[in-house]
Amino acid sequence: MALDGILLSKIIPEIAAQLPLRIQKIWDISNTEILFQVHGNGGKKQMLISCHSVYNRFLFTDKNYPTPNEPGNFVMVLRKYIEGGFIEDIEQADLDRWCMMNIRKRNAIGDLEHFRLCIELMGKYANIILINAEGKILDAMKRIPPFENSRRTVFPGAMFVPTPPQNKKNPFENSMIDPDQSLTKQFAGFSPFLASEVEYRMANGESFTDIMREIKESKMLYAAEGNQEPVFHCIELKSRGRCRSWPLFEGFDVLYYHREEKERIRTISGDIFRFVRRELKHQQTKLPRLLAEMDEAMDCERWRVYGELLYAYNITDTKGTSSITLKSFEDDSDVVIPLDPKLDGKGNARKAYNRYNKLKKGQVYLAEQIEITENEISYFSGLLEQLEQADFETAAEIHNELVSLGYLKETKKTRKNKNKKKEPAVNVRSVTLYNGIRISFGRNNLQNDALTWHMARKNEIWLHAKDYHGSHVVIHDENPDEETLRTAANIAAYYSGGRMSSSVPVIWCPVRNLKKIPGAKPGMVQLGNYRMIYIDPDADQIHALSLE
């Protein structure tokens, strides 16, 4: 769900209250997000602008965002013109979904320059446009050349044309409602969702004036679950029943921080999603071919029989013939032997024996290749599931794992880290329960390896979702009670490929019952004796845990 003009009108005063702000740093944290580090009377702050088609927003945030080693072209332009400058004021265009920031900065020779940054949060048309004092566009996050839109070109060198005004009534100043028209057509700033909420309230006895007064005074964000995405606004969503609430900016972070995380991971880590998917598809395409070749190799005996029959019947003149039918020695049945028309009888017999020997030897090679391919499919399937649930640190560790195994090339940053004496420790998560027992779990293969082989003690309890790729979980206790065991099993089931299933089987045993497989990929173990518990993954319980 995207912002509407009324919700943006609640955000702008919160940002304007902190002005003037000095722009210290600018980063692109994904293909659709720009992060400004600014400093004002309230100290350092992070200002996020997202132009995602669904999650677009504009706010101050306290979340931590990793930044790419090399900035994109648009961020380089922003750094050139406005980094080090001051945001003097910000103004929304009536109650439309765009606003303009005025920025001043002194250039290299000390002359004062003025720029404007237009922030348009209009769904799939969301954009950020940098404009100079003469009204020319210096650059934009999403360029729109003339051949795409002749009425409004957004391209370096073109004159900036603002979005046409809606020419609708301001609902904070004019409360006269035309019953024959929808609220979205009458009032500026109204989204279809807000209109439906206001209409519901009015149908239940509330006045339009009182509702708009509540919107004007609100400092909170209320959210409820929609059909696909959460729905939210700055007033209680009475039409949706139960809803959650947070302070305005905190609410946006709660709703959207993790939803855009995959986009940021692609930007920061060089799109390992695409690499893993490509490798998985390659191995899955390769396996059927190997199995078909294995079936042919297992049928090698027939080629030995062909050769024996050709020699036994002393077949000589076969040139120009593509096949011959001879009687079998075993059951006197007809055997159709394929021939090479260019060879005589002895030549075809030798060719049949050679084919037999090649297929016989190929059985061993093909068996090895099938095993390797099946292991690769399992490995990349596991990585893909880990990436679907990954945060920044977990994705970075997966990238390092692929580099260490030779799947990806080293980056300059990776090569630089090799000169360090000690590599940074992997980030294994843990939680301490009310009874004082600590549970740890990994989110990728490196974390799983570190937890199982280096952090866990031999008598502690190890858990893993059976027949699924997922987290290794360790209960740091030798005799956990049933509630602790079920909590750990829920963690194992939730952080696995069985997250969306029910009655997920989770195996558990002491760590001493595990063996490391020589030469295996990280995260692989060999099991001894184990026990089983079935669990329905419970997201609410996971979110209630205080992860360390």
> Could you say which architecture CATH assigns to the domain 5-140?
Roll (2.30)
Distance CA(123)–CA(52), nearest Å, equals: 7
- For the cut 70, the answer to whether the pLDDT of residue 269 exceeds it is no
Task: Tell me how far CA of residue 60 lies from CA of 24, 45, 95, 207, 347, in angstroms.
Answer: 15, 7, 20, 33, 82
Backbone angles phi, psi at 387, to 5 degrees: -65, -35
In contact, 522 and 448? CB cutoff 8 Å: yes
In contact, 366 and 269? CB cutoff 8 Å: no
Provide, rounded to the nearest whole percent, the portion of the chain with pLDDT above 90.
60
C-alpha angle with apex 124: 123 to 129, nearest 5 degrees?
Answer: 90
What is the DSSP annotation of 85-130? -EEEEEEE-TTSSEEEEEEEEE-TTS-EEEEEEEEE--GGG-EEEE
pLDDT digits (tens, 9 = 90+) for 178-230: 888 899 999 999 999 999 999 999 999 999 999 999 999 999 999 887 666 78
CB count within 10 Å of CB 387 equals 21
pLDDT digits (tens, 9 = 90+) for 125-143: 899 999 999 999 999 999 9
| pLDDT value for 227 | 67
- What are the structure tokens assigned to 539, written together? 């997201």
- What are the structure tokens assigned to 97, written together? 């979904």
Residue type at 231?
Answer: V
- What are the structure tokens assigned to 434, written together? 């009310």
pLDDT digits (tens, 9 = 90+) for 392-421: 778 888 888 888 888 888 765 555 555 554
| pLDDT value for 421 | 45
- What burial class does residue 241 get, using C-beta atoms within 10 Å of its C-beta: 0-12 exposed, 13-18 middle, 19+ buried? exposed
Distance CA(180)–CA(203), nearest Å, equals: 15
| pLDDT value for 270 | 62
pLDDT digits (tens, 9 = 90+) for 452-493: 999 999 999 999 999 899 999 999 999 999 999 999 999 999
- What are the structure tokens assigned to 381, written together? 């399937």
- What are the structure tokens assigned to 400, written together? 């390092």
Q: Which residues contact 298 (CB under 8 A, 6 or more apart)?
A: 363
Domain ranges for the chain: 5-140, 272-386, 429-544
In contact, 247 and 219? CB cutoff 8 Å: yes
Distance CA(439)–CA(431), nearest Å, equals: 5
pLDDT digits (tens, 9 = 90+) for 27-75: 988 888 899 999 998 899 999 999 988 888 899 998 887 777 678 899 9
Three-state secondary structure of 302-343: HHHHHHHHHHHCCCCCCCCCCEEEEECCCCCCEEEEECCCCC
- What are the structure tokens assigned to 494, written together? 């939730």
In contact, 120 and 154? CB cutoff 8 Å: no
For tokens 């003339």, the residue is 146
- What are the structure tokens assigned to 108, written together? 């290299």
Q: Which residues contact 374 (CB under 8 A, 6 or more apart)?
A: 287
- What burial class does residue 220 get, using C-beta atoms within 10 Å of its C-beta: 0-12 exposed, 13-18 middle, 19+ buried? middle
CB count within 10 Å of CB 316 equals 12
